[in-house]
Structures are given as C-alpha cells and as structure tokens.
Structure 1
Amino acid sequence: MTGIGWLAAIIIGAIAGWLAEQFMKSHMGLLMNIILGIGGALILNAILMAIVGETLGGWLGQLIIGFIGACLLIWIGRMLRRST
C-alpha cells in the first residue's frame, strides 16, 4: 500500500473489508475482512498503476481502494462458488 505503514495497512484493510462485508452482505469474520481489504487494495493498486500510472494515496484513498477491491474479491469468490 502506498505511503502507509504495515499497522496502518492492517487497520485500513480491516475497515475496508468490514465495509465491503456489510455492503455485499457476506459474513466472513475479522481475519477474512483484513485479508480481503488488504488483498483488494493490493490488487486494485497494481491494476491502477498499470493502467493509469498512479493510485490514490493516504488513508482515505487506500480505504476507498481497499473497499472497492474487497467488493471485487467477494464478487469473484461468489462467481467461482456458483460455477463449481
């Protein structure tokens, strides 16, 4: 995550994952929320860097990126579960 430390990344990841969990109406638990928030932020940051060449910085920017990325990961997980 850009411009923030690991502790901040875990906190932001947990909040982003929790918000995505509430928005997508999935019940995953705290650890999965952190994983989804951080993982979603990492993936979406990489995509934005490849396409646009920059990403949102700071706490709020990473919270937004983490939320969107976590929602995408939840959606992809649901699609994979339905197809199997």
Structure 2
Amino acid sequence: MIGSTIWFLIIGAVAGWAAGKIMRGHGFGIWVDVIVGVAGAFIGGFALSLLGFNTYGIIGQLITSIIGAVILLWFIRLFSGNQANT
C-alpha cells in the first residue's frame, strides 16, 4: 500500500514536470508538479477512456499522467490569460 502510494507520487511529480516542459514552461516546484501530475492522471485516464484506450504498467500510467497534465496546463493557461509562453 505504501509502496504504491510512493510510486503514484513519483509518477505524478515526473508527469507534472514533463508537462511543464512540454508546454514550454518550467516546473512549478515539486509540490505543484505532484498536484498537476496526480490531477493529470485522472484527466488523462478519463480522456483516454473516452477514446477507447487502456494503459497498463508504470510506463502506461506515466504516459497517461503526462497527457492529462498537458491538458490541465493547457486549460489553466487558456482561462488564466497567461499567453507569455505561447
């Protein structure tokens, strides 16, 4: 149980950091990266399930989290009016 929670947080941190890089930004710090990555895991899982995709394993979870985190950051930038890095 604790081991899976630690993996979940590590994947969230990596996904949040990677999404920040993909969106031509920078990381927001470890805690915000984890939050963005974990929220991205839910968003990515939902988005991919709508498209009929399933992912398995750590790599699948990481890819799903990154996709969701990119979607989350895109929406945040869309509605915040922060167009500095576009």
**Secondary structure of the residue that 2:81 maps to in structure 1?**
helix
Q: Deviations over 1:24-73 (max 9, x none)?
A: 12231111111111111112212333442x52011100110111111111
Identity %: 35
- TM-score of the superposed pair, with normalisation by structure 2: 0.79
Hey, which bits of structure 1, 4+ residues long, moved more than 4 A? none
Counterpart position of 2:49: 49
Structure 1 stretches lacking a partner, 5+ long: none
- Whether the 8 Å contact between 2:44 and 2:69 is mirrored in structure 1 is no
- Whether the 8 Å contact between 2:44 and 2:66 is mirrored in structure 1 is no
**Which is worse superposed, 25-34 or 65-74?**
25-34
Counterpart position of 2:68: 69
Structure 2 stretches lacking a partner, 5+ long: none
**Secondary structure of the residue that 1:56 maps to in structure 2?**
coil
Change in CA separation of 1:51 and 1:25 when aligned onto 2, cut-off 3 Å = closer
Counterpart position of 1:26: 25
